[in-house]
Homo-oligomer: A and B are copies of this chain.
Amino acid sequence: MPRKDIEVFFNPRTVAVVGASRKPGKVGYELLRNLKMFYKGKIYPVNPKANEILGLKAYPTIKDVPDEVDVAVIVVPAPAVPSVAKDAGEAGVKGLIVISGGFKEVGPEGAELERKLVEVVRKYGMRLIGPNCVGVYVPKTGMNTLFLPPERQGFPGHGVIAFISQSGAFGSAVLDWAAMRGVGISKFVSYGNKADVDDDDLLEYLREDPDTRVITMYIEGVEDGRAFMKALRETTPIKPVAVLKSGRTAAGARAASSHTGALAGQDHVYSAAFKQTGVIRTYGMEELFDVGMALGMQPPAPGDRAAILTVGGGSGVMATDALSDLGLKVPRLSDKTVEKLRKVLLPIASPYNPVDVTGSATDEHLIESVEILMRSGEVDVIIWLPYYIVPGISPELNKRFIERVRKVNRELEHPIPILGVATGGEYTSRYSREAEEMGIPMYLSPERAAKAAKALVDYGKWLRLIGTFDEYVEKFRKQVGY
């Protein structure tokens, strides 16, 4: 079971909002409004000048709340925060989320204020997320401390990806994008100055969290490299971790330092650390989630041989290039496998690899081919390019194809991961989304699918290196039911 002192932030029974406001547009109003809209537990606004806010009874101080408060979300100005924290400690609050800025990030005075805050937190045995952050969002429990209104900011549904962001604004923008893209999130945390709860605590929590299958992180720098590496090393045998680390270049490091004061550090040190701990490194927001979806939805690849199963020849060529660029093999299939494919394909189809079923293909060509590829013993990961728009492909394709994939995977010693590519517009997106709901991540371009495939290959290699491949796959099979 994951640690309870962190769990409280994601699944509190009661939440107080200290600094709740009656004025629309104010952080203390918008945050309360979001929380009320999403959260299922009890909410207590704290404001000495109000009796009621948004239909909720308000209290002058947190000590006046006639209930045990699990989490206090604090949005009062920085100088008042330590004393509010003290009140919270005395009232038995377990966790503080301090949204307010004005601490370490603004200079020595702020740093002193932050030191005081942490002192109070420690004294009362509380935990603290922030200060200077947007806090947490958990679709499953509705815990939501983000303050941008849902008219501007979208909130994704429940899913298997945890996302930790050192940047609040970027974190919000990514959640918004994920909602539109249909990417589900298990837990989101923006921890700002991470004065108490930091990367290590979150990794320790999330690796035991049954709702999280993959951990994604945006970071600009970490302070205690040794502790971070230890946390990563203890996490990656259990769950994949994908990281987007910015401030990689000299100019980028300078920019990071004026942003969060982060010591972006020598990039080669981070690269080495990620390599030594089996972390998948990514280089952009889309790539982070492309990779996150692959790792969350598909098993790691047992080797580095890729097969391409395509309705469009051109995309097959591009997929081959993209996989080769990343060092994956796209081997010509054996004569035996080619013969088997020939028997089920059209005469104009190309059965080597890419297996190009052509635009005249029907559902059957794809379904029979994928089984032959999966059972061939020559393939460790498959990229599937269905072209939903061609006339012979029916609206039933996803259901039938994915059922077959699951059936065959149940029978194989090692399940074979499959990723899809669907380039197109409205119609294609609809079916692409459907395939994802059935468990196959779909990408807009072969290049993006190739990077995701590479992550499955790399994570598989890592698990084999440290000897936990079979154990991981066994657990994964139970989770996805094959």
Contacts and interface: CB of A to CB of B under 8 A. Distances in A.
Interface of A: 25, 30, 106, 148, 151-154, 165-170, 172-174, 176-177, 179-180, 218, 220, 244, 246-252, 254-256, 258-260, 283-286, 308, 311-318, 320-325, 329-330, 332, 348, 350, 352, 354, 356, 359, 387-391, 423-429, 444-448
A446 B255 CA distance: 14
A285 B356 contact: no
A423 B428 CA distance: 22
Contacts of A348: 106
Identify which of A166, A387, A423 gathers the most chain B CB atoms within 10 Å of its CB: A423
A170 B427 contact: no
Contact of A321 (B25, B218, B247): B247
B447 A284 contact: yes
Nearest to A171: B314
Contact of A423 (B174, B250, B445): B174
Given A170-B423, A255-B308, A284-B446, 15 more contacts: A148-B390, A148-B391, A153-B424, A154-B426, A167-B315, A173-B312, A220-B314, A249-B324, A249-B325, A251-B321, A255-B316, A255-B317, A258-B354, A259-B317, A260-B313
A315 B424 contact: no
Nearest to A286: B445
A320 B389 contact: no
12 contacts: A153-B424, A154-B426, A169-B387, A169-B390, A247-B321, A250-B324, A251-B329, A254-B320, A255-B320, A259-B356, A285-B423, A286-B447
A23 B252 CA distance: 60
Given A249-B324, A321-B252, A391-B25, A177 B314 contact: no
Contacts of A286: 444-445, 447
Nearest to A325: B249
Given A286-B444, A332-B254, A425-B154, A387 B316 contact: no
A363 to B, nearest CB: 15
Contact of A284 (B248, B318, B330): B318
Nearest to A324: B249
A345 to B, nearest CB: 13
B180 A425 contact: yes
Nearest to A151: B427
Nearest to A423: B173
B312 A169 contact: yes
Contacts of A324: 249-252
A21 to B, nearest CB: 13
Contacts of A313: 167, 169-170, 255, 258-260
B169 A314 contact: yes
Nearest to A168: B359
Contacts of A387: 169, 173
A109 to B, nearest CB: 14
B389 A258 contact: no
B152 A258 contact: no
Contacts of A218: 314
A247 B285 CA distance: 27
A251 to B, nearest CB: 4
Nearest to A314: B167
B321 A425 contact: no
A312 B391 CA distance: 45
A304 B83 CA distance: 51
